[in-house]
A and B are shown apart, each in its own frame.
Chain A
Amino acid sequence: MSQLKTAHSSSEDFPPVLALQNICKNFTGVRALNNVSLNLYPGQVTALVGENGAGKSTVVKILTGIHQPSSGEILLAGEQVQFATAHHAASAGVTAIHQETVLFDDLNVAENIYIGHAPRSRFGLIDTQAMRQQAKALLDDIGADISPTAMLRDLGIANKHMVAIARALSIDARVVIMDEPTAALSHKEINELYVLVEKLKSQGKAILFISHKFDEIFSIADRFTVFRDGGFIGEGKIKGVNESELVKMMVGRPVDQIFPTRQPDLGNEILQVSKYCHPTEFDDISFTLRRGEILGFYGLVGAGRSEVMQSLFGIKRPCSGTASVDGKRLEIRSPADAIAHGIVYVPEDRGKQGAITTLPIFQNVSLPSLQQTSRRGFIRLAQEFALTRKYTERLDLRAAALDQNVAELSGGNQQKVVIAKWLATQPKVIVLDEPTKGIDVGSKAAVHEFMAELASQGLAVIMVSSEIPEMLGMSDRVIVMREGRMVTELRGDSLTPETLVRHAAGIGEE
């Protein structure tokens, strides 16, 4: 540890290994970046913070050659460079874990990690053996328990994310960029990621770390840079600021990060799930939910929480067990059935299961509510826009216009569109799977407040989340799952960060 410290302090003297100067970036009609600068130092973690749509991911894309800046300079070790393609950036030693991971469903894990730079045998052919071994070593390194020969499509989203991390690290890099790497991970994987970051630091790599979680930023970063609305606000050492100062720089005003205080006024029992089983994914799941209640589901990644919810929503078929709403037993064969019974599910994989990115915002939001916005079979556009406006405004969506394509929104804003879409159906029971994933502090508070308000109006909420503060702050009751089974139910005084972690990991004190 002391060695690490000296490495840090000496590196203060080094010039930045990678620097952006006066970068501007225009998209059709939108100025995403306006004269921003960013410095990355060897052996240091720089946290880039900003609200949804501040331009963080755009910077990442410029640094990795996916987008070209409209003006401004990129300096690599003091020399001006141009990253015309992703390949250029990679061979210059810049690698990134992107916010929206781009992997290949039909290739296996090792192939996904090494596609484009696979180890070759003597004859110039891909050396599958070596590739698998190296992939295994990499995965072990980041603490991911994934077989290199598993097909990617069979992995859950968190494991896919680990593969993306392994892929980024398979390139020998000077600069490692992580765009919200922990958004889908639970504490176990996050801790392993921290260890990894420390290791990269000690190897003298410069790290750009993007996150909306402040505990994370303060425990891992050495420096920070703040963007707001595509502009550069400031930078400095993390030791010199506290959380509220950072939030204020980011949002432009102080933000209340306190969870809404709720006096849960629980109504009658609305949902009963009893003895839900699935041959491979979960076993013996029983719980009840009352009107106005927020029920949390906590567990490590892969504990089967999302799978249970998908069964409830008709995506997967449980092999036995029943679910009933208002005492009436349900036959849920498809999502359409679930929606008809007032159960909706906000999926965790926004890119794949949530947003329809080539359609405009208003068509996304209204898609499951078209009955509500049409008359005699014809959609009324005015109603459709009104509905969209109502819910997106509540969630603090930042977009140029409601007929903008969702693909053009920042990650966090896409998430808001997906949440709005499901709230607009006015369900009885809503299942939110990682609802605030990728959402900034201000909007997170807006989402939480909205959740609390809807619960107080009698909506029953199930919240699957890997964020402990959110679990503690929002839930009336938490069910902890481990390896496809319910381990315990926590409430009141027994609901603490320690008990959550302990039961989820299935060990005594960690």
Chain B
Amino acid sequence: MLKTILAARETLLLVAVLLLLLLVSSRFPAFIEIDNLVKVLTDTSPLIILALGQMLVIVTRCIDLSVAANLALTGMVVAMLNTAAPELPIVFTLLIAVSLGAVLGAINGLLVWRLAIPSIVVTLGTMTIFRGTIFLISDGQWINAHEMSEHFSQFPRGSVAGMPVLAWIAVLVTITAWIFIARTPTGRAFFAVGSNPHASVYTGIDVGRTQCIAFIISGALAGLTGYLWVARYAVAYVDIASGFELEVVAACVIGGIAIAGGQGSVVGVLLGAIFLGVVKNALPVVNISPFWQLAISGAAILIAVAFNSRSSQSRGRLILKEAEQST
């Protein structure tokens, strides 16, 4: 069991993250103080949550480009709700955010399942539709901190055992995702569908339905993040988290999720997201411009993809290189 958890790719990623931390801390020791690490984790939490949802979608051979737009739309809706009914308990806000996100995800899922439209086309479409809807319902207006009620914007920041609620939620989602994938029939089905859709049909698994479920989960997590995001930054407008979907996909790819489907692990995605989070937080500290950050993320993606395709190509061949050298 331990062997499978620490499969080579994840270990390598862990080493990369640790190296990065070491490198930064050699010049700025404060970076690896507990407080700062918690801050980095909290900062990375939305990415972690979304990437875990995206992982399920990619594993079933689809892609969800609408997550960031879903996040923004749900965020706007709960923010407007909050201005209309400031006393609404947080539980309801959370419930509404998750359900609305799930419904938006279900739209993607149903289009992919029932009409058999490729997911990249569907989610490119819904992505613009969701953004457009925000504009329609908000008239392009911003909702700012002072318009939000105290408990609404304070909830993700509240500290439990020294860590903000936002980070705890990411931890919770990660653990749930891990159990879900490792130990439930539906979790298994995602991998079966992605790795051999034909054989899955013969096994009695409904491929389209399974993909739809993945979209619903991804959507629900995007909705959840929508509220957390709006509350944390205490602002909602049309363009929040714009382009964030690419970062989410990047975290998955760096984490070793095969774009061709059927392969990937929660630990990998977690590390992929954390890697990007550390880069993002470390660069300003070491005084490198944010443009470099993009370049570094990009390079990390290419390296990860090259590494993935190389390792999946043929393990036999990789061994041969050693054998050839030794002779």
Contacts and interface: CB of A to CB of B under 8 A. Distances in A.
B162 interface: no
Query: Dominant SS at the B interface?
Result: helix
Contacts of B188: 363, 367, 370, 379
B146 interface: no
Contacts of B206: 334, 336
A450 B148 CA distance: 69
Contacts of B291: none
A355 interface: yes
Given A356-B195, A359-B191, A370-B188, A71 B202 contact: no
B198 A358 contact: no
Contact of A70 (B184, B202, B263, B320): B320
Contacts of A68: 316-317, 320, 323-324
Contact of A28 (B184, B198, B319, B324): B319
Contacts of B179: 378
A355 B319 contact: no
Counting chain A CB atoms within 10 Å of each CB, which of B183, B184, B203 scores highest?
B203
Contacts of A70: 319-320, 323
Interface string A346-390: 010000111111110001000110110010011101000000000
A403 B4 contact: yes
Contact of B204 (A28, A334, A347, A353): A334
A381 B183 CA distance: 8
B287 interface: no
Interface in A398-433: 403, 421
B232 to A, nearest CB: 33
Contacts of B314: 67
A507 B261 CA distance: 49
A133 interface: no
Contacts of B183: 374, 378-379, 381
A368 B262 contact: no
A71 B323 CA distance: 8
Contacts of B308: none
Interface string B302-327: 00000000000011110110011001
A378 B184 contact: yes
A27 interface: yes
A368 B203 contact: yes
A118 interface: no
Contacts of A334: 204, 206
B202 to A, nearest CB: 5
Contacts of A356: 191-192, 195-196, 199-200, 203, 262
A336 B191 CA distance: 18
Contacts of A371: 185
B213 to A, nearest CB: 14
Interface in B240-269: 262-263
A67 B316 contact: yes
B201 interface: yes
Contacts of B192: 356, 359, 363, 367
Contacts of B204: 334-336, 338-339, 368
A336 B205 CA distance: 7
Interface residues of A, number: 37
Contacts of A359: 191-192, 195, 262
Contacts of B4: 403
Contact of A27 (B201, B262, B315): B315
A345 interface: yes
B317 to A, nearest CB: 7
A200 B279 CA distance: 63
A103 B142 CA distance: 56
Interface in B191-233: 191-192, 195-196, 198-206
A315 interface: yes
Interface in B62-90: none
Contacts of A338: 204
Nearest to A403: B4
Contact of B185 (A25, A27, A379): A379
B315 A28 contact: yes
Interface of B: 4, 179, 182-185, 188, 191-192, 195-196, 198-206, 262-263, 314-317, 319-320, 323-324, 327
Given A27-B315, A28-B319, 11 more contacts: A27-B319, A70-B320, A336-B205, A336-B206, A358-B195, A358-B196, A358-B262, A363-B192, A378-B184, A379-B183, A381-B183
Those 7 A-B pairs whose CB atoms lie nearest each other, nearest first: A370-B185, A336-B204, A358-B195, A335-B204, A68-B320, A356-B196, A339-B204
18 contacts: A27-B316, A68-B320, A336-B205, A353-B199, A353-B201, A353-B202, A356-B199, A356-B200, A356-B203, A358-B195, A358-B196, A359-B195, A363-B191, A367-B192, A371-B185, A374-B184, A377-B185, A378-B179
